[in-house]
Structure 1
Amino acid sequence: MDFYLILFFLFSGIFLGWKVNKDNYFLKLSDKITKLGLVILLAAMGADLGSNEEIYRQLGRIGLQALLFAIFTIVFSVMLIYFFAKLIAGNSFNSDFKKHPDTQKNESNMTFLIFISVISGIIIGRFWLGEDFYSFLAPIINYSLALLLFGVGVDIGASREILEDLKLLGWKILAIPLLIAIGTLIGSVLIGVLLGFAVGESAAVGSGFGWYSLSGVLISNLHGAELGSLAFLTNVFRELLTVILIPIVAKYFGSLAAIAPGGATTMDVTLPLIKEAGGESVVIPAFISGAVLSTLVPILVPFFLGF
């Protein structure tokens, strides 16, 4: 979805949520609509992945390598944000975010709902969708994402205490994407070297930050189809693992750490998931982090390939 449309739907929701009374029935209805839209979005994303023949062609050859790259980038990103929240920002800071009421409720139900939605979508896309239906997947994803971003915005606007939560972060809000980028690069270089890749190649693969369409094309054009395919599949896996892991990370490592797995996708596709798992207080940090990391992708990928 276009960046300006993302801003429009998100901030339109924030404005409306700020204007209506907190006990307004519309707010309760919007929460139900958001959850329904989330299921539709995840199922459509799964169907889109399931119908993508390029992914299946690459799975047998580089699937395990790509999965390891994705796992390492997520693990090191989560570790850095967790220690940032706990040690650098202070225990009280971490506690305030971790104990947000939205973070503690229905974690197991949320994880189950996410997993079933995505897996069902993949199965349907792989085995049951006809070719005529593929053209409808992109609009379904875009419309459901627009609905979700609007709903997330409404919840943010209605939560008056969110400004106090953001004051806890201050300048540290910019440290979040920086640490996610560093964690991603550490993880990708470490596993890349172990698998026999050069440092620059490994860093370039990780520098997609979950934005598989752009990173795969960039690396294919600048380096070669094989490494481009690895980058594409790595970042597909990162997005898929992020969707499943966000509630688990929020539960055990805190709400701020839930931002880390998504990388660049936290400004759009995974933003509603982060809100559901971590609460409204982490939505703005997640959005800013995703925007920064998305900007870094076309800069860092060519940079590391030049090594």
Structure 2
Amino acid sequence: MYSGLLTILLPLIVGYLLPSKNPAVIRGVNRLLGWMVYIILFFMGISLAFLDNLGSNLLAIFHYCLVSAAAILVCNLLALRLLEARRPWQHAHRTQLLPSRVHMALESLRLCGVVIAGFLLGLCHWPVLKFASQASEYALLFLLFLVGLQLRGSGMTLRQTLLNRRGTIVAIVVFVSAMAGGVIAALILGLPVKTGLAMASGFGWYSLSGILMTESFGPIIGSAAFFNDLLRELLAIMLIPALIAHHRSSALGLCGATSMDFTLPVLQRSGGSEIVPAAIVHGFVLSLLVPVLIAFFSA
């Protein structure tokens, strides 16, 4: 039962246990990780094209995506508003000139285009394309190893995580409320609760959650998880400037795991440099949880 869990966690742990503070190595890992994400998402698109009853399955993907995204985000935002009422985040920063949110949204949608490209190629149904699913499994193991290296290379320690209480508290609130949203989505969609919990465990890291979910639950649920987390990131990019002044915890929590990388520039410009430590801790905690939780719920 837990062989799949071990298969997913082993390369992640091995990568995390290999210390490397060489900036050139870390840059190389980040670059290679980006390419591996493109490759595996391309394979995911090919696998999607081989589904039976393709039209109805595509409708199911977007139905699962919209329901789960709505349930998870509503639970997240309600819990974060409650946190703000109980523990306000005092600050005196004024919003600065923001980077182009349209450009950042297009960067996110580029990965969506890779899935579509793989899907269109898969519609050719060439015999060699049937091996895409098997090839993606081996590529996934390597990608998880790189994710472990990347998390270790971020330089975050347990002491640093515990010292920044705001980032850790927001991450815990996002985690707990997302699990509640996953259960609600599963009940609405008629899915097993473990599937709903796994879909809620992506925290916006769509490039990893979609891949892991596809390997564990098949291309329909995997694609739904991918679009669910992609939608979260796009909403974060658009809503951070509107939320940051009066709902600082909500703005940070909406970013999910991406607060330590992709959405960090928007958070910094909107919320000032004081939000950066909390954003990095928040993103690190959730990024660490993503592969562990998905592996656990898919076991």
Does TM-score exceed 0.5, indicating one fold? Answer: yes
Measured in 2, the distance between the counterparts of 1:41 and 1:162 equals 33
Measured in 2, the distance between the counterparts of 1:236 and 1:30 equals 25
The corresponding residue for 2:69 is: 74
The corresponding residue for 1:122 is: 119
* 1:48-99 CA distance string (max 9 Å, x none): 333xx3xx32444465345323311112212222343344155538999xx9
Measured in 1, the distance between the counterparts of 2:158 and 2:176 equals 28
Shift of residue 118, structure 1, vs aligned partner: 1.9
The corresponding residue for 1:257 is: 254
CA gap 1:105/1:63 in 2 versus in 1, 3 angstroms: closer
CA gap 1:61/1:118 in 2 versus in 1, 3 angstroms: closer
* 1:114-135 CA distance string (max 9 Å, x none): 1222222222333265337434
Shift of residue 257, structure 1, vs aligned partner: 2.5
Any conservation in 1 of the 2:185–2:196 contact (CA below 8 Å)? no
Shift of residue 140, structure 1, vs aligned partner: 2.5
Shift of residue 248, structure 1, vs aligned partner: 0.6
* 1:159-192 CA distance string (max 9 Å, x none): 99963785324466444332112112223434x4
CA gap 1:160/1:69 in 2 versus in 1, 3 angstroms: closer
1:112-261 residue pairs with structure 2 within 5 A? 112-127=109-124, 130-131=127-128, 133-134=131-132, 135-154=134-153, 156-157=154-155, 163=161, 166-170=164-168, 173-190=171-188, 192=189, 201-202=190-191, 204=193, 207=196, 209-210=198-199, 211=213, 235-242=221-228, 244-251=230-237, 252=239, 254-259=251-256
The corresponding residue for 2:202 is: none
> Structure 2 unaligned runs (5+)?
1-6, 200-212, 241-250, 265-279
After superposition, the CA RMSD in angstroms is 4.3
Shift of residue 241, structure 1, vs aligned partner: 0.7
Kindly provide the amino acid, as one letter, of the partner of residue 178 in structure 1. Answer: V
The corresponding residue for 1:92 is: 89
Measured in 2, the distance between the counterparts of 1:83 and 1:235 equals 26
Any conservation in 1 of the 2:20–2:26 contact (CA below 8 Å)? no
Measured in 1, the distance between the counterparts of 2:90 and 2:125 equals 48
The corresponding residue for 2:208 is: none
Kindly provide the amino acid, as one letter, of the partner of residue 228 in structure 2. Answer: T
- Choose from 108, 113, 126 the match for 1:111: 108
Any conservation in 2 of the 1:41–1:140 contact (CA below 8 Å)? yes
Measured in 2, the distance between the counterparts of 1:69 and 1:114 equals 20
The structure whose residues are more often helix, as a share, is: 1
Q: Does 1:288 align with 2:292?
A: no
Measured in 2, the distance between the counterparts of 1:288 and 1:128 equals 36
Q: Does 1:277 align with 2:279?
A: no
Any conservation in 1 of the 2:44–2:219 contact (CA below 8 Å)? no
CA gap 1:243/1:181 in 2 versus in 1, 3 angstroms: closer
Residue 143 of structure 1 aligns to a residue in which SS?
A: helix
TM-score (norm 2): 0.62
CA gap 1:25/1:202 in 2 versus in 1, 3 angstroms: closer
Measured in 1, the distance between the counterparts of 2:116 and 2:137 equals 18
The corresponding residue for 2:268 is: none
Kindly provide the amino acid, as one letter, of the partner of residue 62 in structure 2. Answer: L
Measured in 1, the distance between the counterparts of 2:92 and 2:34 equals 26
CA gap 1:250/1:9 in 2 versus in 1, 3 angstroms: farther
The corresponding residue for 2:45 is: 46
Shift of residue 26, structure 1, vs aligned partner: 3.9
Residue 207 of structure 1 aligns to a residue in which SS?
A: helix
Kindly provide the amino acid, as one letter, of the partner of residue 283 in structure 1. Answer: F
* 1:235-263 CA distance string (max 9 Å, x none): 2332231353243133135453343xxxx
CA gap 1:93/1:87 in 2 versus in 1, 3 angstroms: farther
Shift of residue 157, structure 1, vs aligned partner: 1.5
Shift of residue 109, structure 1, vs aligned partner: 4.0
> Structure 1 unaligned runs (5+)?
193-200, 217-231, 260-270, 299-307
CA gap 1:180/1:79 in 2 versus in 1, 3 angstroms: same
Any conservation in 2 of the 1:111–1:248 contact (CA below 8 Å)? yes
CA gap 1:73/1:234 in 2 versus in 1, 3 angstroms: farther
1:2-41 residue pairs with structure 2 within 5 A? 2-12=8-18, 15-17=19-21, 20=22, 24-41=23-40
CA gap 1:183/1:277 in 2 versus in 1, 3 angstroms: same
CA gap 1:31/1:8 in 2 versus in 1, 3 angstroms: same
Residue 127 of structure 1 aligns to a residue in which SS?
A: coil
Measured in 2, the distance between the counterparts of 1:238 and 1:165 equals 36
